[in-house]
Amino acid sequence: MKVAIVTAGTLPVPAVRGGAVETLVENLAKENEKYRRLELVIISVFDHEAEKQAHNYPHTRFIFLRPGLFLEALDKGAYFIANKLLKKSRAASYRNIFRRFYMLHRTARILARGTFDRVVLENSATLFQTLKKGKNDKKYEGNYYYHIHNVVTGSYGCAHIISGCKTLAVSNYINHTLPDFMQTIPKQNRRVVYNGIDTERFNRAISKKDREQRRHKFGLEATDIVLIFVGRLTPEKGIKELLQAYRKIDAPNVKLLIVGSHFFDSDLWSPFEEEIRQMCENMKNRVIVTGFIPYKEMPFIYSIADIAVLPSIWEEPAGLTMIEAMASGLPLITTLSGGIPEYVQGDGAVLLPRDEHIINNIAGALRELVMNHDLRLMMAKNSPLISQRMDLDRYYLNFINAISD
């Protein structure tokens, strides 16, 4: 079965610049090297390092599209105006406008000229424009899929085409939030494909010596109790609430490691990220901010921590970091948000209500885990059990089943 996976063009695949969606697409290519059930074609924005990494997947054809320096300059100008002059709250959405138009145009031509058994559009509803052009929707009627990773907010003039798709949602929660223009999709065409990770990489035991050496790189002592937050430094991820809760913990040997940036490995910046960095500066002896760290290094980062704190304060569609933390054997503190309860189950996690008491609730959960060593050990033992449900084998095979009809 020849399958074209169309990415949004914001970040490249392989996911050398980060991105949860891009990582999931790369994981499909990784599993396909083992099973070879698909003739896989991935359409991605060009990136030098991604092009090099693509050679690791000889059974996947990568089509890299190069917007060029002129369009890059236009996008930088649009972002500067939106961010610095107009002070737009969602300035990041202006960063790749011209690149996205270019990607849509080129991808539409690829779909028109090629022949694919299935077409999978990754996350962005703007990608339906590639089917609108050249009557690609008629060409691939009954064989195009929308892989939904976030709540859908607009049809971009493609409501009729969207009604003819089959959806692959990352959680039942996402399927329950489909807007009115998607309610015409028959229920049997609304599938759920739960995310998966390389659980073997995240669930590897390391020696005490290696752990201490890795901690030393970040100025952490062997006796420290290390909390870890992983994610974009944006309001919805709960990093501000975590810092406010952490201030209430009066224990000098409890350190907080913050891993992430505003938007992965990019030049995007936000006033909120600056606010977070200022808050951290006031606790600089207790808080370490690493910035963006490549995904391939994340198993090593999780391995130096004792507790993962990922208090999402929006309706999180799924949350890869929650799975990664638990697969790494960490007790997890998170929230009852969106699709998180569909992923995070068992005695390895504390799920807090997302209400006006969230800061005090985070602080209370932290105190209990910090002070109760036996509880931490028990939760750490139970956390990796999530690996039995969220590995890449299952993700790949479920994906194939969902598009095989």
- As its CATH architecture, domain 2-196+391-404 has 3-Layer(aba) Sandwich (3.40)
Q: How far apart are CA 331 and CA 371, in angstroms?
A: 13
- The 8 Å CB, 24+ separation contacts for 364-372 are 365/333, 366/227, 366/245, 366/246, 366/249, 366/254, 366/307, 366/309, 366/333, 367/249, 369/307, 369/331, 369/333, 370/225, 370/249, 370/251, 370/254, 370/307
Query: Residue 34: in which H helix or E strand, if any?
Result: helix 20-35
Token pair for 175: 């399927």
Q: How far apart are CA 360 and CA 362, in angstroms?
A: 5
| Domain-wise residue ranges, the chain | 2-196+391-404, 199-388
Which pLDDT belongs to residue 68?
A: 82
Instruction: Indicate the CATH number of 199-388 among 3.30.1360.150, 1.10.150.120, 3.40.50.720, 3.40.50.2000.
Output: 3.40.50.2000
2-196+391-404 and 199-388 in the same fold: yes
Q: Report phi then psi at 53, rounded to 5.
A: -65, -25
Stretches where the chain sits below pLDDT 70 are 82-94, 262-268
Which among 159, 153, 112, 113 has a CA at the least distance from the CA of 131?
112
Which pLDDT belongs to residue 289?
A: 92
* Inter-residue contact 43 to 63 (CB < 8 Å): yes
Q: How far apart are CA 108 and CA 127, in angstroms?
A: 9
Residue 257's beta-bridge partner residues? 228, 288
